[in-house]
């Protein structure tokens, strides 16, 4: 059973600032060059005039309470300037969802989660990226486990845990077959063509908006197709949007500007909170951004020093057929990623482009 601490509740502005300072050390990564930081901030301010409103005018809210457990989603599928960036990030916490999907009634993302996501976005934005050619391949290696539930004799339910170590190569332009390598051997992946948000190529990711609000509108439009009104889905667009962004960040290699926009977009989804300590599938501890839905807490885990994504997991908040409160039902760690010239090759150490 996992004993990680739960979501942090925001009570006041100074309290949120203290909480974030406790969660993370001072940023160890290089600060943005002046022109890059100016572009990053002015893009946000120009898009959101309301961001000039003092951040202290915004309400601070806590995480929503646990609800009944549902079936789990399976995996694979400068000081002054910094203060301005923080104020901008907090001031634009809004939901851009306007579809007709199920109303989830979640509060806005907490101020601490928005500030954390802003720091993660800025760290992602300044990471170097080498030129990527259409003839190359995106490479991601993940390790982890998932839980399945099946009916046993006498009407009882049997839980089983599956552990996997998977490497995947996907053509940058989607025009050629890829490769998946696991314990069962190698398996060819059909050429994805242009790709989609559910099965992205690097070329598709490179074409996504770097304006977080425009990007989130696109993600919600896709979420509404399968989780909106009349879909029969109990997930709802907000949770699906959070899950979709997590999938994109975990299972692909996105350009730095797009990664930054995805993190900033996540801060606009209602119900997003922070978790002070979370552990990935390889045992690495970090701080998490999370969202609670139907008695499960979906967590994205980040290294406290580098702010890189370590992995994600789903934790039960109530006892049920899937396990006891605190149990992990899924956990996956990202252990390597980058760009290679051919399937079967691994990227050079330190070539993570996210």
Q: How far apart are the first and last CA of the chain?
A: 31
- In percent, how much of the chain has pLDDT > 90? 55
* Range of weakest confidence among 19-23, 97-101, 140-144, 269-273: 97-101
Of the candidates 260, 266, 308, 209, the residue with the CA atom closest to the CA atom of residue 40:
260
Report the C-alpha gap between 186 and 167 in whole angstroms.
9
Compute φ and ψ for 37, nearest 5 degrees.
-65, -40
Instruction: Order across the sheet with 309-316: list the strands.
Output: 185-189, 178-182, 157-171, 137-151, 328-340, 309-316, 296-302, 285-293, 272-279
Q: What is the mean pLDDT of residues 165-176?
A: 97
Cβ(226)–Cβ(233) under 8 Å? Answer: yes
Query: Does position 179 have pLDDT exceeding 70, yes or no?
Result: yes
Per-domain boundaries in the chain: 13-340
Per the structure block, which two tokens stand in for 213?
């609000």
Is residue 124 within 8 A of residue 312, CB to CB? The reply is no
Query: For 86-95, 199-208, 296-305, 331-340, which range has the lowest pLDDT when averaged over its residues?
Result: 86-95
CB-based contact 147:54 (threshold 8 Å): no
Closest CA to 44 of 226, 253, 214, 285: 214
Whether residue 329 has pLDDT greater than 60: yes
pTM confidence score: 0.75
CA distance 163 to 147: 9
């Amino acid at each position: 059973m996992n004993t990680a601490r739960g979501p942090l509740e925001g009570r006041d502005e100074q309290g949120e600032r203290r909480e974030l300072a406790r969660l993370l050390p001072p940023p160890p990564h290089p600060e943005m060059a002046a022109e890059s930081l100016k572009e990053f901030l002015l893009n946000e301010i120009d898009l959101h005039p309301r961001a000039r409103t003092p951040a202290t005018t915004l309400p601070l809210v806590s995480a929503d309470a646990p609800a009944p457990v549902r079936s789990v989603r399976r995996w694979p599928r400068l000081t002054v300037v910094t203060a301005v960036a923080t104020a901008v990030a907090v001031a634009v916490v809004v939901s851009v969802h306007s579809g007709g999907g199920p109303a989830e009634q979640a509060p806005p993302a907490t101020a601490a989660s928005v500030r954390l996501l802003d720091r993660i976005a800025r760290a992602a934005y300044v990471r170097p990226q080498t030129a990527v050619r259409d003839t190359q391949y995106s490479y991601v290696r993940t390790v982890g486990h998932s839980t399945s539930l099946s009916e046993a004799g006498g009407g009882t339910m049997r839980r089983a845990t599956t552990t996997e170590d998977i490497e995947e190569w996907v053509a940058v332009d989607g025009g050629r077959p890829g490769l998946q390598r696991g314990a069962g051997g190698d398996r060819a992946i059909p050429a994805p063509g242009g790709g989609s948000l559910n099965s992205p190529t690097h070329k598709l990711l490179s074409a996504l908006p770097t304006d977080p609000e425009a990007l989130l509108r696109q993600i919600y439009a896709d979420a509404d197709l399968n989780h909106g009104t009349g879909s029969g889905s109990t997930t709802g667009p907000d949770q699906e949007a959070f899950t979709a962004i997590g999938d994109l960040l975990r299972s692909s290699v996105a350009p730095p500007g797009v990664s930054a926009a995805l993190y900033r977009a996540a801060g606009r989804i209602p119900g997003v909170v922070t978790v002070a300590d979370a552990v990935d599938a390889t045992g690495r501890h970090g701080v998490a951004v999370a969202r609670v839905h139907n008695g499960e807490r979906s967590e994205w885990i980040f290294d406290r020093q580098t702010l890189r994504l370590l992995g994600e997991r789903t934790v039960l908040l109530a006892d049920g057929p899937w396990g006891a409160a605190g149990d992990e039902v899924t956990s996956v760690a990202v252990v390597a990623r980058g760009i290679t010239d051919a399937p079967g090759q691994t990227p050079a150490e330190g070539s993570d482009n996210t």
